[in-house]
Amino acid sequence: MSFSPLIRQLVEALRGLPGVGQKTAQRMALHLLERDRSGGLRLSEALSRAMQHVGYCQQCRTLSEDPVCALCADPRRDDQLLCVVQSPVDVFAVEQTGFRGRYFVLKGHLSPLDGLGPEAIGIPELLARIGEGGFAEVILATNPTVEGEATAHYIAQTLADRDIVISRIAHGVPLGGELELVDGGTLAHALAGRKPISLR
């Protein structure tokens, strides 16, 4: 190794970013050191502030530094529609389709083999949110994977006795994919083509 300790530590820390290997991390570190130190300091401060101050919205459980996020606080949105997703990045994806209802963000999907049951992913909080009343429809927009389908099915069963339409985004979304990687057009189509879930 021919980098100095501080540069080595920086390269090492950059490798913690998803999709960044040794060579990419080196390029990033040297780019910042040689051409953009103010950008590097800006990134340092943005990271520090975000890691320390971003929490979860009390209402929708998305990432937010405010107790109630801007989407939940916005009075102009449709209070009768609740879209349930499994990650904050999916809020962003659904938002770009033009959806203007409310959201609830699960902590991932059910994964019994990993010990992740309904409590672990926030289903009690989802039920409490729905219990506050006012929703005419709950759209289940978990990932179109086996686990996402199972999670949607579980939620649909749990809500079966309530007087609310439970729908699932249509299979315009490619099976086996991750919601956040779906292009906006496909996702908008899937959202428009959503169908009530029939429990056999």
Contact residues: a second copy, CB under 8 A = 2-7, 9-10, 12-14, 16-19, 24, 26-34, 36-37, 39-54, 62-66, 69-71, 87-89, 91-92, 95, 180
Choose the contact partner of 186 out of Zn ion, a second copy, none; CB within 5 to 8 A by kind.
none
CB 104 within 8 A of CB 60: yes
**59 or 143, CB closer to Zn ion?**
59
Chain-centre distance for alpha carbon 51 = 17
Buried b (16+ CB within 10 A) or exposed e, 92-122: ebbeebebebbbbbbebbbeeeeebebeebb
Q: Whole-angstrom Cα distance, residue 30 to residue 190?
A: 43
What is the smallest separation between the CB atom of 57 and Zn ion, expressed in angstroms?
3
What is the smallest separation between the CB atom of 86 and a second copy, expressed in angstroms?
11
What is the smallest separation between the CB atom of 3 and Zn ion, expressed in angstroms?
12
Choose the contact partner of 136 out of Zn ion, a second copy, none; CB within 5 to 8 A by kind.
none
The torsion angle over the Cα atoms of residues 135, 139, 141 and 146, rounded to 10 degrees, is: 120
Provide the residue type at 109 as one letter: H
**17 or 192, CB closer to a second copy?**
17
What is the smallest separation between the CB atom of 137 and a second copy, expressed in angstroms?
20
Q: Counting contacts by CB under 5 A, is residue 91 touching Zn ion?
A: no
**74 or 183, CB closer to Zn ion?**
74
Provide the residue type at 169 as one letter: I
Backbone angles phi, psi at 166, to 5 degrees: -110, 120
Q: Counting contacts by CB under 5 A, is residue 59 touching Zn ion?
A: yes
Q: Counting contacts by CB under 5 A, is residue 57 touching Zn ion?
A: yes
- For the beta carbon of residue 197, count every other beta carbon within 10 angstroms: 18
What is the smallest separation between the CB atom of 18 and a second copy, expressed in angstroms?
5
Choose the contact partner of 54 out of Zn ion, a second copy, none; CB within 5 to 8 A by kind.
a second copy
Residue 12 is inside which H or E element, if any? helix 5-14
Q: Whole-angstrom Cα distance, residue 187 to residue 90?
A: 11
**36 or 78, CB closer to a second copy?**
36
| Binding interface with Zn ion (CB under 5 A) | 57, 59-60, 69, 72
